[in-house]
């Protein structure tokens, strides 16, 4: 092996770990989703949790450029941050809020989700509201369709408030063939039909990313797409099947390359011990960056366009990969943990399957010390 030593070198510039985020991919994904909408439905891009780990402000701008007429977040603080970043469009806060947070959200010119008379009465003047019916998610919202309808009427009659919408959220839209999703949809459409006569301008919305792609009949007046705008598959398979392009790639680099003889181990607990001569590379990324400990001996990394298995324990700041018995790789070589290199590609969905989780959690779990580079 030429050029590699026990201590190694480093790139001339860059970061120990970096998440690259393509604003163009997000805009294109929004355009793709928008083309699939039926009945004149609008697109609401969900940018909560720092844009699912991609960076909320930049993703919001890209989503607007791709045709999203609304944005949605979970908290008042997220709404304020978007306004401070310069967003001036329609914005919905979907989560639970304290009185102080409700005032903060209204001051940020954001709409609010409500589901009880107590919440409605506590809202400050000027609040715009979306009444939430719980059709089977079992979390926020009232389960009583009659109470939800009465809440809509009360909001419309209150001169301090403005009734804007009625909403629900699907629990199993990402499980094709289940019976709960169509039951939820039927319950919401029956509820909404009774409201149209009294509130003809009411904005009805229910579909998340999976529901938007699964059933065009549920697009109603607006869809709320989160994971799909980032080019992640809500069905946890392959985003390309839906014409979506992953927006995020995760990169690091080779810090050292060392020769291991049989019996020599690497990392905490010596979970990896060489059984034959091999070369091991160390990358400066670990669970402190969000690359989960459960990926030890359980994922691949791309270096020089080839897959190499991650071996041993994922530590806070480093991982190790097996380069095999012969290598020409040297310190400073770029490495890709999520994304493409050469003809190889590692999807976020693959990483999620290795962890027994969903792609959302992988991107949301990337730590704050991993910079996001938007282009």
Mean predicted confidence (pLDDT) in 250-257: 97
Contacts of 221 (CB under 8 A, 6+ apart): 39, 40, 41, 42, 165, 202, 203, 204, 205
Residue found by looking up tokens 């960056």 in the block: 289
pLDDT band at 1 (very low <50, low <70, confident <90, very high): very low
SS3 14: coil
- 272-313: per-residue pLDDT in tens? 999 999 999 999 999 999 999 999 999 999 999 999 999 999
CA gap 56, 315 in Å, rounded: 28
Domains plus CATH for the chain?
A: 23-232 (3.20.20.10), 248-374 (2.40.37.10)
H/E stretch holding 282: strand 278-283
Q: Is the pLDDT of residue 5 over 80?
A: no
pLDDT band at 13 (very low <50, low <70, confident <90, very high): low
CA gap 68, 209 in Å, rounded: 13
Q: Is 83 exposed, middle or buried (0-12, 13-18, 19+ CB in 10 A)?
A: middle
- 35-68: per-residue pLDDT in tens? 999 999 999 999 999 999 999 999 999 999 999 9
- 193-230: per-residue pLDDT in tens? 989 889 999 999 999 999 999 988 889 999 999 999 99
CA gap 22, 55 in Å, rounded: 11
CA gap 103, 111 in Å, rounded: 11
Q: Is the pLDDT of residue 99 over 50?
A: yes
| Per-residue confidence (pLDDT) for residue 202, from 0 to 100 | 97
Decide if 268 is catalytic: yes
Q: Please say whether the beta carbons of 7 and 256 come within 8 A.
A: yes
pLDDT band at 3 (very low <50, low <70, confident <90, very high): very low
| Per-residue confidence (pLDDT) for residue 7, from 0 to 100 | 45
CA 162 vs CA 200, 267, 296: distances in Å: 14, 59, 52
Q: Is the pLDDT of residue 337 over 80?
A: yes
| Per-residue confidence (pLDDT) for residue 196, from 0 to 100 | 87
Given 230, 258, 268, 360, the catalytic residue: 268
């Amino acid at each position: 092996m030429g050029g590699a030593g026990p201590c190694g070198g480093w790139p001339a510039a860059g970061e120990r770990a970096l998440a690259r985020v393509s604003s163009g991919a997000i805009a294109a994904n929004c355009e793709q989703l928008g083309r699939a909408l039926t009945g004149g439905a609008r697109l609401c891009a969900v940018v909560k949790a720092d844009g699912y780990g991609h960076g909320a402000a930049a993703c919001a701008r890209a989503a607007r450029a791709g045709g999203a007429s609304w944005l949605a977040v979970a908290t008042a603080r997220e709404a304020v941050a978007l306004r401070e970043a310069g967003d001036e469009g329609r914005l919905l806060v979907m989560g639970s809020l304290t009185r102080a947070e409700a005032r903060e959200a209204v001051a940020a010119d954001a709409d609010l989700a409500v589901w009880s008379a107590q919440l409605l009465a506590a809202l400050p003047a000027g609040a715009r509201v979306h009444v939430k019916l719980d059709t089977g998610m079992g979390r926020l919202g009232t389960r009583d369709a009659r109470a939800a309808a009465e809440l809509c009427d009360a909001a419309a009659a209150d001169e301090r408030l403005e009734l804007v919408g009625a909403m629900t959220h699907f629990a199993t839209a990402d499980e094709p063939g289940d019976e709960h999703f169509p039951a939820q949809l039927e319950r919401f459409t029956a509820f909404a039909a009774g409201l149209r006569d009294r509130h003809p301008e009411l904005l009805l919305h229910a579909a998340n990313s999976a529901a938007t792609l699964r059933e065009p009949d549920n697009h109603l007046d607006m869809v709320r797409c989160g994971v799909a705008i980032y080019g992640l598959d809500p069905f946890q398979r392959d985003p390309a099947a839906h014409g979506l392009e992953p927006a995020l790639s995760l990169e690091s680099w080779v810090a050292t390359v060392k020769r291991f003889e049989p019996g020599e181990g690497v990392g905490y607990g010596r979970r990896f011990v060489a059984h034959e001569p091999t070369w091991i590379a160390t990358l400066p990324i670990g669970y402190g960056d969000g690359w989960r400990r459960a990926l030890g001996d359980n994922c691949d990394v791309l270096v020089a366009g080839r897959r190499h298995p991650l071996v041993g324990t994922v530590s806070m700041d480093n991982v190790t990969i097996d380069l095999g018995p012969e290598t020409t790789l040297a310190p400073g070589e770029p490495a890709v943990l999520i994304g493409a290199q050469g003809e190889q590609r590692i999807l976020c969905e693959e990483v999620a399957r290795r962890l027994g989780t969903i792609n959302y959690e992988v991107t949301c779990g990337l730590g704050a010390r991993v910079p996001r580079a938007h282009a």
